[in-house]
Structure 1
Amino acid sequence: MNNFTEFLQVFVFAIVGIAFTLVAMAIAYLLSPRTQGKKTFATYECGIEPYGSAWIRYSVHYYIYALIFIAFDVDVLYLFPVALSYTRGAQPFEFYSLLIFILILGLAVAYAWGKGVFTWKRRVL
């Protein structure tokens, strides 16, 4: 009987979660405007009028820039829990290992900067 009550709690939690989602979608559907015009299906990007085709080729430079951003973003996320651990009294070797980690990140940024990865090359249309 105990297993059934635990399963019942999970089932009720799932039903309530699905109900919240469906209610939010229903409210959005009921309150959303229903007008359709020339610009309804146009691409909206920060208020700038779109020009040209949506099917364009991006330079490899763009993808390298994006990959470097993701890599450093994940590394910075690693630094938050490490910084919080210092409030509990850290050992000196932990500080030096963190310093080496940040130094390696700095060297990676310097290398990418030297290769010109952070220089955005604009094409003239």
Structure 2
Amino acid sequence: MFFDFANVFIFIILGLLMTFVIITVSRLLAPRVSDVPDKFTTYECGERPVGSAWILFNFRFYAVALAFLIFDIELVLVFPCISVYDKWLKAGSGLFALIEITVFVGILFLGLIYMWNRGDLKWTKEVSEELEEGVVLEEEKPILF
């Protein structure tokens, strides 16, 4: 048993050593480029960059992307369970597995309902908070591309 762990340990050490050697050889052999202005600009498919590279994105893009990632990972986790569900039924643990999968999907569905009720999935959001007495924010305009 110790021999199996020793193999893994040696494999990790050799992997780290190889990484260190490759980085060191690359730094020694790579040509030195001094402060070339083009080196510090963003790359836009060979074209000269237009405008600033720092663009502020609306936070809703991040919320929708995060929701997509969560449900994408859910699919990755649930699909193998469904593919072996027939074996679980034959083994007698099918009902327990079905309950586990249902609870998992249900919790994610509750999160989706929460995001929907908060308005995080809308592209345009109405803002009606009063900042000061008599000052009301206007409705936000939709984002056009």
Q: Give me the whole-angstrom Cα distance separating, in 1, the residues matched to 2:13 and 2:40.
A: 35
Contact 2:63 2:121 in 1 (8 A): yes
Which of 30-39 and 62-71 deviates more? 30-39
The 5-angstrom pairing of residues 71-90 of structure 1 reads: 71-86=70-85, 88-90=87-89
Q: Call closer, same or farther: CA 1:99–1:12 in 2, change over 3 Å.
A: closer
Q: 1:78 to 1:7 in 2, by over 3 A?
A: closer
The structure, 1 or 2, with the larger RCO (C-alpha pairs under 8 Å, 6+ apart) is 1
Q: Which runs of 5+ in 2 are unaligned?
A: 125-141
TM-score (norm. length: structure 2) = 0.49
Alignment correspondent of 1:66: 65
1:53, distance to aligned residue in structure 2 (A) = 2.6
Q: CA deviation at 1:122?
A: 4.4
Q: How does 1:27-106 map to 2 (within 5 A)?
A: 27-36=25-34, 37-45=36-44, 47=46, 49-86=48-85, 88-90=87-89, 91=94, 94=97, 98=101, 101=105
Moved over 6 A (4+): 5-11
Aligned residues: 116
CA gap of 1:47–1:94, structure 2 versus 1, over 3 A, is: farther
The counterpart of 1:23, out of the listed 5, 21, 24, is 21
Q: Distance in 1 between matches of 2:57 and 2:37?
A: 28
The aligned amino acid for 2:78 is L
**Retained in 1: the 8 A contact 2:42–2:53?**
no
SS in 2 for 1:50: coil
Q: 1:19 Cα shift?
A: 1.0
Q: 1:43, 1:50 within 8 Å by CA — same for their partners in 2?
A: yes
Q: Give the match for residue 127 of structure 2.
A: none
Question: What is the TM-score when the length of structure 1 is the normalising length?
Answer: 0.54
Q: How does 1:106-125 map to 2 (within 5 A)?
A: 108=112, 117=121, 122-123=143-144
| Aligned-residue identity in percent | 30
Aligned-residue CA RMSD (Å): 4.4
Whole-Å separation in 2 of the counterparts to 1:93 and 1:15: 42
Q: Which has the larger radius of gyration?
A: 2
